[in-house]
């Protein structure tokens, strides 16, 4: 397993519920989770949480990271303020470092052209179509989609988003990953025993 940290983007209006499953189990799986903001000043989530980033975006380099996570935020659809995060996602993908985007962040990637040639999903297809991107034929109606090193998901699927991230980085695999998803997404009690036996609760 890589010892490089995972980087969680944080910015004003971020949807704080969308990445919690992923970051919690990445941390349990041995990854340090570091926050990266537009600068090092505090940002405030939609839920009112104040977060002081560990580093500023211009300090982040793909070679120092295992993954960049981009949560949704109202700001993704309110102008170009978060466009630098989409440009950084391009740098990560070009370097072969994974990116995971959920909710409004998928629209940011679409505007950057990163979904024009990759299978992807989002809230609904017409949400991304409104960006004017060219990847509509590659849109998949699914809870979450992984294409190579890119994970995308819609706003109602934080658990499926986490499943794809955890699988991509090898935190859980096979029946353990499936059981994890069934427990947290479907409340399947049979999955608990699988996780308990694997020491993966």
Q: Return the pLDDT at 59.
A: 97
**What digits encode the pLDDT tens for the residues 40-53?**
999 999 999 999 99
What is the CATH T-level fold of the domain 6-170, as seen in this structure? Answer: Rossmann fold (3.40.50)
Domain layout of the chain by residue ranges? 6-170, 173-201
Mean pLDDT over residues 91-100, rounded? 98
pLDDT band of residue 151 (cuts 50, 70, 90) is very high
Q: Which residues are catalytic?
A: 103
Q: Return the pLDDT at 2.
A: 54
In whole angstroms, give the CA distance from residue 76 to residue 49: 18
Q: Is 138 exposed, middle or buried (0-12, 13-18, 19+ CB in 10 A)?
A: middle
Phi, psi of 123 (to 5 degrees): -65, -55
CA dist 50 → 20, 59, 98, 167 (Å): 15, 21, 27, 30
In whole angstroms, give the CA distance from residue 13 to residue 116: 26
pTM above the 0.85 mark?
yes
Q: Which residues pair with 14 in a beta bridge?
A: 73
Among all chains, which residue has been given the structure tokens 């427990």?
A: 183
To the nearest 10 degrees (0 to 180), the angle between helices 104-111 and 83-94 is 70
Phi, psi of 103 (to 5 degrees): 60, -130
Q: Return the number of other C-beta atoms located less than 10 Å from residue 152's C-beta.
A: 32
In whole angstroms, give the CA distance from residue 68 to residue 173: 20
Q: Which two tokens stand for residue 11?
A: 């910015």
């Amino acid at each position: 397993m890589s010892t490089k940290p995972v980087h969680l983007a944080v910015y004003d209006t971020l949807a704080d519920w969308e990445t919690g499953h992923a970051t919690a189990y990445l941390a349990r799986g041995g990854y340090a989770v570091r926050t990266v903001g537009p600068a090092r000043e505090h940002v405030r989530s939609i839920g009112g949480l104040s977060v002081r980033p560990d580093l500023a975006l211009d300090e982040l380099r793909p070679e120092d990271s295992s993954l960049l996570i981009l949560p949704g935020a109202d700001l993704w659809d309110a102008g170009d303020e978060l466009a630098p995060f989409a440009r950084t996602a391009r740098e990560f993908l070009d370097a072969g470092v994974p990116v995971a985007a959920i909710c409004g962040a998928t629209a940011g990637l679409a505007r950057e052209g990163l979904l024009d040639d990759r299978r992807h999903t989002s809230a609904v297809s017409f949400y991304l179509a409104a960006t004017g991107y060219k990847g509509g034929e590659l849109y998949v109606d699914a809870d979450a989609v992984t294409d190579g090193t890119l994970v995308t998901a819609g706003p109602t699927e934080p658990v499926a988003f986490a499943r794809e991230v955890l699988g991509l980085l090898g935190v859980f695999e096979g029946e353990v990953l499936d059981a994890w998803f069934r427990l947290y997404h479907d409340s399947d009690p049979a999955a608990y025993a699988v996780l308990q036996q694997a020491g993966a609760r």
